[in-house]
Amino acid sequence: MGIPYIDYSRQNTQMLGDIKTEIERVSSLVSNSDMEEYVSGFEETFAEYCGTKYAIGTNSGTSALQLSLIASGIRPGDEVIMPANTYISTALAVSNIGAKPVFCDVTENDFNIDASLIEGLISKRTKAIVPVHMYGHPADMDKISEIAEKHNIKVIEDASHSHGAEYKRNRTGSLGNIGCFSLHASKNLGSMGNGGIITTSDDDVSYSLNGLIHPDSNKEIIKLVGRTPWRMDPITAAVLKAKIGMLDKWNEQKRAVASEYGRLLDNPNITKPSQSNSVKHVYRDYVIRSRDRDNLVSFLMKNGVGTSIHYKLPLHLTGTYRYLGYSKGDFPVTEMLAAEILSLPSFIGMTSREIETVSKHVNESVNLF
């Protein structure tokens, strides 16, 4: 592949010296309490970055969501509203604890949950809304928070795509009752493998979360999840501690890639992503739309350009969630996007020449199909 969709090595190799230094520090730790203190150091740094009182490290973004739901009082039979256009982990975190995902359609403009549709989905069993800041563009948090406050329900941000993104000058992770981040290698701030973190300024939620993530906890809440080790490990914390100081710079690089694409792409058959004036986008993915998406994918592949689709099958049409009783046509915008969206290469260390090459091939496709 001439230009891959993603190349983790370009980010990781530039940080290798700092990562080795942090891992050496971990290797010299003497006790479990030393390791716990080390992880806590990263948590404090991340909480400060997001503008929250607490951050609690986990082993994945899915774990972060699942634990946050439990700590928020979500129990079997409760309902949680979320977008139909998201990665399946958002819904799995809900169904894993016996609660019911309630899907909502999204907007064409920013691919986020359509806040104007949320109130019509609220029932007596609704306990939370989980907005997902898709591809790094924050959702309409003022409207979502207003609805949640009116109905006394929680807002749990799925901020897995939006490390450092801002909504009205406040960073994601600080906009709801709780923020949940994936720290998978594919994220703007990612480990070498997996990881997650939860942010909150709620003392009670923090207390419950700390009871849930420690297998030796004697707190009553541990019975809700069993003694499962959810905790972030020190090696993951070491990698993230080495990287977090570069996050703002990397986000600027992501915005620069998006800006270059915006300038160079000139094909009437595609729609480029838009951005609201009230947000600071971090472009975890650069997502275009094309009615000839599958042909475009094939053409780009033949020309050595890797792509990805986030996501090809809407959650309500997956076999996993067939039991919820949704049908094709229930979420028209989500279904339209699933047929049209395409993520172009956009990664830390991508060169201007690579962006030009990708853009050239996208533009060349205009008369081919």
- Say if CB 331 and CB 315 are below 8 A apart: no
Distance CA 356, CA 265 (A): 9
Contacts of 87 (CB under 8 A, 6+ apart): 160, 310, 311
Instruction: Give the bridge partners for 280, in sequence order.
Output: 166
Residue 295: name the closest of 313, 258, 270 by CA.
270
- pLDDT at position 214, please? 76
- pLDDT at position 61, please? 98
Distance CA 164, CA 66 (A): 22
Instruction: Give the bridge partners for 196, in sequence order.
Output: 58, 182
Number of CB atoms found within 10 A of residue 369's CB: 12
CA distances from 317 to 32, 40, 286, 291 (A): 45, 40, 24, 20
**Cis ω on the peptide bond leading into residue 311 (within 30° of 0)?**
yes
- Say if CB 176 and CB 155 are below 8 A apart: yes
Distance CA 199, CA 68 (A): 9
Q: What are the pLDDT tens digits along the chain (369 aa)?
A: 699 999 999 999 999 999 999 999 999 988 989 999 999 999 999 999 999 999 999 999 999 999 999 999 999 999 999 999 999 999 999 999 999 999 999 999 999 999 999 999 999 999 999 999 999 999 999 999 999 999 999 999 999 999 999 999 999 999 999 999 999 999 999 999 999 999 999 999 999 998 888 766 556 666 666 556 789 999 999 999 999 999 999 999 999 999 999 999 999 999 999 999 999 999 999 999 999 999 999 999 999 999 999 999 999 999 999 999 999 999 999 999 999 999 999 999 999 999 999 999 999 998 876
Q: What are phi and psi of 81, to 5 degrees?
A: -85, 135
Instruction: Give the bridge partners for 101, in sequence order.
Output: 80
Number of CB atoms found within 10 A of residue 35's CB: 17
Structural domains of the chain, with CATH: 8-104+112-244 (3.40.640.10), 247-367 (3.90.1150.10)
- Which secondary-structure segment (H or E) carries 196? strand 196-200
- Say if CB 282 and CB 254 are below 8 A apart: yes
Number of CB atoms found within 10 A of residue 75's CB: 13
55's tokens: 């951050």
Distance CA 66, CA 75 (A): 11
Distance CA 333, CA 207 (A): 39
Inter-axis angle of helices 352-364 and 293-302, nearest 10? 130
DSSP 55-111: EEEES-HHHHHHHHHHHTT--TT-EEEEESSS-HHHHHHHHTTT-EEEEE-B-TTTS
User: Which stretches within the chain are classed as H helix?
Assistant: 8-14, 16-27, 32-50, 61-71, 88-95, 115-118, 141-151, 203-213, 234-243, 247-264, 293-302, 332-340, 352-364
Paired sense of beta strands 279-280 and 166-167, if any: antiparallel
Paired sense of beta strands 100-104 and 79-83, if any: parallel
